[in-house]
Amino acid sequence: MGSYSRSLQTVLGAPGVRGKRVTALSKDGFTDFIQSIVTKKQDVKDPFYVLDLGEVVSLMDKWTRSLPTVRPFYAVKCNPEPALLGALAALGSNFDCASRAEIESVLALGVSPDRIVYANPCKAESHLKYAASVGVNLTTFDSRDEVDKIRKWHPKCVLLIRVKAPDDSGARCPLGPKYGALPEEVTPLLQAAQAARLNVTGVSFHIGSGATHSRAYRGAIAAAKSVFEAASRLGMPRMRVLNIGGGFTAGSQFGEAASAVNSALQAYFPNEPGLTVIAEPGRFFAESAFTLATNIIGKRVRGELREYWINDGIYGSMNCILYDHATITCTPFACTSNRANPTCRGARTYRSTVFGPTCDALDTVLTGHLLPELEVSDWLVFPKMGAYTAAAGSNFNGFSTSAISTHLAYSNPC
């Protein structure tokens, strides 16, 4: 059995996946799969996701090959779909949780608490007490008040000091304005932790989500090195953990980001015995694994312009356009109006607007998008919709994002 098949077997037996229907996809089987689901949905044409577990296996393989020394802690906030969490757990990933509910959902899969980093630098007291009660003993901090809180409610917790990455200007969603100690705050914070008798075991940072400058990792790893040095100047026990956060995308940029990380680790941490390097990838594992299918529920023709209404939008999965500054795209699946050629290859296209279902005009998903002539009941399929989509959708106007179902499949790259 090849390593892909072995990993796939592991994933099919994973919590969150086991017992669910998982469909094998041939190389061009995606359209057929959508077709088979759509055919079964003649009456209720609700939107749905397809999670490709084969893609998750490939991504883990890619991670392990490119960053062999960096242990991934998947950032649950990016997409908490249980089948994704279970698959990642089975493939050996650990988890970054930011709240009580996220910790609960990971523990519910049977993952042990020492595979969780509670990577929220500012935690509610009740959530922190919960973490203490279940044995989640690794967290981040970037303020004195957090030191006091941790001393009171979870003094056994081991800490990573979160520092502000020196350059997050290339990120789609910079995190620097909210989190991370400034260089001049590092020593006083370490002293505060020392005075509170808390164990600070390392450094964490995040160069911003959807990072485009791979060099940002180098600057941040260099900054982390100076924190390690500051800690030893204070006579603290030797730091052992470097957490390089998220920011990774799975496309062609990943190779570049991985070499930036590897060469910076070589340069700044060349012979650090016992150093554990971890990361908190979210987007990397979630984005390309999910495809969203939405149904066309309305249409209006205004001259050459075509306007369509679909049953998911800005208040649902497509909130990523607002919050994640995402650019999304879609392909037609015209199973009602063009059965012979549902993907409409070669068909004439029109400038089209795609609206979401709520009564707010802001709920506009695409404008000026070229689409063939489609009819009510046809479908629009959005690829790469796994990162920061359903996770942040609402129930506005009675359209419930959390009710969108997920169908499981696996593609075979071989």
Ligand X SMILES: *Cc1c(COP(=O)(O)O)cnc(C)c1O
Q: What does the binding site for ligand X look like in residue numbers (CB under 6 A)?
A: 75, 77-78, 96, 119, 206, 209, 245-248, 280-284
Query: Distance (Å, rounded) from C-alpha 264 to C-alpha 152?
Result: 37
Element (H, E) at 266: helix 253-268
CB 72 within 8 A of CB 281: yes
CB 288 within 8 A of CB 55: yes
Residue type, 385: M
Query: Distance (Å, rounded) from C-alpha 263 to C-alpha 260?
Result: 5
Q: What tokens does 134 get? A: 């279940």
Q: What tokens does 167 get? A: 């350059």
CB atoms within 10 A of CB 41: 14
Residue closer to ligand X by CB (options 76, 89) is: 76
CB 381 within 8 A of CB 309: no
Select from 272, 335, 312 the least CA-distant residue to 403: 312
CB 378 within 8 A of CB 45: no
Residue closer to ligand X by CB (options 128, 310) is: 128
Residue closer to ligand X by CB (options 168, 378) is: 168
- DSSP notation for 303-330: TTEEEEEES--TTTGGGHHHHS------
Residue 176, C-beta contacts closer than 8 angstroms, at least 6 positions apart: 164, 165, 168, 208
Residue type, 325: H
Residue closer to ligand X by CB (options 285, 396) is: 285
Nearest distance from C-beta of residue 242 to ligand X, angstroms: 14
The answer to whether residue 78 is catalytic is no
Of 157, 330, 335, 359, which is the active-site residue?
359
Residue closer to ligand X by CB (options 128, 293) is: 128
Nearest distance from C-beta of residue 315 to ligand X, angstroms: 21
Element (H, E) at 55: helix 53-66
Element (H, E) at 71: strand 70-75
Nearest distance from C-beta of residue 165 to ligand X, angstroms: 11
Nearest distance from C-beta of residue 106 to ligand X, angstroms: 14
Bridge partners (DSSP) of residue 162 are 204
| Half-sphere exposure of residue 118: CA atoms within 13 angstroms, side-chain side | 30
CB 66 within 8 A of CB 331: no
**DSSP classification of residue 354:** E
Residue closer to ligand X by CB (options 48, 205) is: 205
CB 121 within 8 A of CB 185: no
Q: Which residue is nearest to ligand X (CB)?
A: 246
Query: Distance (Å, rounded) from C-alpha 399 to C-alpha 390?
Result: 12
Residue closer to ligand X by CB (options 63, 284) is: 284
- Catalytic residues, which ones? 359
